[in-house]
Amino acid sequence: MSIILEFVNVNAGYGRIQILNDLSFAVDEGQVYGVIGPNGSGKTTMFNALLGLIKPSSGKILFDGIDITRTSANVRCKMGLGRTFQVPKPFENMSLYENVLVAAVHGGTHRERFAREIALSSLRLTGLYDKREIKAGELALLDRKRLEIARALGTEPKLLLLDEVAAGLTDAEVKDIMRLVADLKAAGHSIVWIEHIIETMVGSTDKLMCMAEGRCVISGNPREVMESAEVQRLYLGVDENE
Amino acid sequence: MSDKRLQRPVRVLDSLPMLIVCIAVVSVLYAVCLLRIASNNAMRYMIQIFLYITMGQMWNLLSGFAGMTSLGQQLYIGLAGYSVAIATAKLHLTLGVGLVMSVAVSVVVALVLSLLLFRMEGMYFSIATWVVAEAFEKLFLSWKYVEQGSGLTIRVVPYPKIEEICAVSLTVCVMSIAVVYLLLRTRTGLGLTAMRDNLTAASAVGVNVFNHKLLVYVIAAAFTAVSAGIFFVNKGIVYPESGFGISWTVSMIFIVTIGGSGTVSGPITGAVIYVFLQELLAHYPGWSNIILGAITILVIFFLPKGIMGTLQEKLRFEIFSAKRFSFAKHK
Ligand SMILES: Nc1ncnc2c1ncn2[C@@H]1O[C@H](COP(=O)(O)OP(=O)(O)OP(=O)(O)O)[C@@H](O)[C@H]1O
Ligand SMILES: [Mg+2]
C-alpha cells in the first residue's frame, strides 16, 4: 500500500509562536486516519500547515510522493487536498449550491457545466440537496458543518481532511457521518479525520494518531492507541469531550 | 416536485426585457448629450456621475470582491491626468493617444507595484497603497518637467466640446459596468464572489487568490485611469494635489458604501447620490465633509449592506447578478 501523505519533522506555527514541533506521521492511501489529542495540541494547526495556510519553518510535507511544503493553498487543493474548517467558513452570501460550485469549478478545475453535477451530488451525499438554493449565511451550525463536507467533496479530493465534523451532533447524526465516511472510503477517498468523539475514532478509523504539544505521541491500531498508557495519561480524568 | 424550498428564493432580474431597458436608458442618455438636449450645467453633472460610477465600480471590484481595500487609487488618477497633459501639451499628441497612454502607464505601474503591494494584506495593504500615492504626489510636486506645483494644462486644438466629453464618459461608464458584469459571470467571477465572502475558504477550495487579485488590480487601474483622463480633459488642468489627493478615495469609499459593497448596482446608485449631495452641500462650505461622513456612518449603522445591498436582500431580488442557479434558468 502506498503512502498518500507524509509529514517529516514539520515545525510550524503562527508568527513566532511555534505550535507543531518536529511533527512526523504518514497516512496510507485508501485509509481513514484518525487524529485525537487534547484541546490546543495542534490538530487544526496541522491541517493549516497541510493546506498551506501557514508555512513550516522547517521539515517537509509530502503528498502523493510530491513535496508540497512550498506549494500554495489553491494548488494543493487542485492536487487533491479537500479540507473542512472546524469553525465553518461558508461563503455566506452565496447559496449552498454556489458554495459547492466554486469548489468544483476551481478546486476540481471543471467547466461550470460539468461542475454542476459534481456540486449537486456532493449536496445530495451530505443531505443538503433540498436546501441548495438557500443562502449559506442563513444556515444553522449543523448544516454549516455539512456544507463544509459538501464543499470539500466538491473539489474531488484524493485526501479528505475532516476537522471535528461530528462535534455537537446527536448520536444519530454522528452515525450518519460515520456511514458517510465509510461510503467515501469505499469510493476510494483517503481521509484524515480529527475528532474528540471516541466512538468515531475507534469505530471508523484504520489507524489512529494522538497528538500533544504539536507532536505525534503515538500512532497505530485505534484500539491499542486508545488503551495505551500515553493516551490514558493525556486524557486522565478528561472525558468532557466524550 | 412542489417543494417550497425549491422555489427560487431570490429573483434575478437580468432578463431580455431588462437588457432592453438598459439599452433604452443608455440610448436616451446618448441622445441627451449628443443632441444637446441637456444644458451645459446638466451635462457637467452627467459627466461626473458617469466617471464616478466607473471609479466606484472599480473600487468595488477591489474592495467589495477581492478584499483589497485600496486607499491609493488616486495614484492612477494622477498618473492618468498627467499622461493626458504630457501627451497633449508636451508631446503634441492627440487626446485619444493621451488616453491610451494614461491606460498604458497605469497598467505598467500597477503590474510593477503589485510585486510590492501583494506581499501585504488588510490594513498593511491599504496603508501601503496610500503611501505610494502620496510619494507620487511629492514626486510630481518637485518634478520640473511637469511644472511642479503650478500644474500642467491640457492643450489640444480644437478642444473637445462638452457633449463629446459627456458621450465618451458614458461610453467608458457602460463599458466598465459591462466588464464587471461579464467578469462576474465567468469562472473568475465565481472565484471573486467567493473571495468577497471569505478569502481563506476561497483559497482552500482552489481559488487562485493571487491571480484573481492581480487581474482585478490591473483592470481597476486601467478603468480608473481612463475615467480620470476624461475627468481632467473636462477640467483642463491637472495639479499634483488634484490628481494624487486622498479625497478621491474618500469619494470612492462613500459611493461604494452608500450604494452597497459587493453589488454592481451599488456603485451606480452611490455615484448618483454622491454627485447630488456634493452639489447640495456646496452651499455649506466646510460642512460638506462632516455631513458626508455622518451620512456614511448612518448608512453603515442602519444599512450595513448599503442601499442596494439592503434593498436586494429585503425584496429578494438581484440585478446585474452573478448568481448561479442549480436548475435551468428557463423552465
Ligand atoms: N491563528 C492563530 N494565531 C495564534 N495562535 C493560534 C492560532 N490558531 C490557533 N492558535 C494556537 O495554537 C495552539 C494549537 O491550536 P489548534 O487549533 O491547532 O489546536 P487543536 O488541537 O485543533 O485544538 P481543538 O481540539 O480545541 O480544536 C493553541 O494554543 C491555539 O491557541
Ligand atoms: Mg482544532
Cβ-defined contact of A77 to B205 (cutoff 8 Å) = yes
User: Which is the closest atom of ligand 1 to the Cα of A46?
Assistant: 18
Residue B5: Cβ-neighbour burial (10 angstroms; 0-12, 13-18, 19+): exposed
> Tell me, what's the pLDDT at A236?
67
Nearest by CB to residue A133, choosing from B8, B187, B207, is: B8
Our mutation pick for probing the ligand 1 site, out of A45, A86, A161, counting the most ligand atoms within 8 A of Cβ, is: A45
Grid cell, residue A109, equals: 478545475
CB pairs under 8 A between A and B: 114
Residue B202 clears pLDDT 80, i.e. is over it? yes
| Fold of the domain built from segment(s) A1-72+161-169+204-242 | Rossmann fold (3.40.50)
The mean of the pLDDT values for chain B is 92
State if residue A42 touches ligand 1 by the CB under 6 angstroms criterion: yes
The domain limits of chain B are: 7-330
Grid cell, residue A63, equals: 503528498
Cis amide leading into B158 (omega within 30)? yes
At B216 the three-state DSSP class reads helix
> CA-CA distances (angstroms) from residue A145 to A52, A110, A150, A172, B226?
21, 24, 9, 15, 46
Q: Could you tell me where the DSSP H helices lie in B198-287?
A: 199-204, 209-235, 240-244, 247-259, 265-281
The mean of the pLDDT values for chain A is 93
How large a percentage of chain A has pLDDT more than 70? 97
Closest residue by CA, ligand 1 atom 11: A40
What is B7-330's CATH number? 1.10.3470
Least confident of A70-74, A81-85, B290-294: B290-294
pLDDT, tens digit, 9 for 90 and up, residues A12-29: 999 999 999 999 999 999
The domain limits of chain A are: 1-72+161-169+204-242
Beta bridge partners of A191: A32, A160
> Tell me, what's the pLDDT at B146?
83
> Tell me, what's the pLDDT at B1?
39
| Ligand 2 centroid distance, CA of A88 (Å) | 12
State the Cα angle at B14 between A110 and A151, rounded to 5°.
30
Question: Other C-beta atoms within 10 Å of B84: how many?
Answer: 30
Our CA dihedral for A225, A226, A227, A231, rounded to 10 degrees, sits at: 80
Here the ipTM equals: 0.92
Residue B5 clears pLDDT 80, i.e. is over it? no
A152 contact partners, CB below 8 Å, separation of at least 6? A82, A83, A84, A103, A160, A161, A162, B205
How large a percentage of chain A has pLDDT more than 90? 88
Question: Other C-beta atoms within 10 Å of A87: how many?
Answer: 11
How large a percentage of chain B has pLDDT more than 70? 96
Q: How confident is the model at residue B10 (pLDDT cuts 50, 70, 90)?
A: confident
Our mutation pick for probing the ligand 1 site, out of A21, A35, A44, counting the most ligand atoms within 8 A of Cβ, is: A44
Residue A168 clears pLDDT 90, i.e. is over it? no
Q: Return the closest-CA partner of residue B63 out of B191, B271, B252.
A: B252
Q: Return the closest-CA partner of residue A77 out of A108, A56, A47.
A: A108
| Ligand 1 centroid distance, CA of A98 (Å) | 30
Answer yes or no: are the C-beta atoms of A43 and A192 closer than 8 Å: no
Cβ-defined contact of A85 to B193 (cutoff 8 Å) = no
pLDDT, tens digit, 9 for 90 and up, residues B151-196: 899 998 889 999 999 999 999 999 999 999 999 999 999 999 999 9
> Tell me, what's the pLDDT at A195?
95
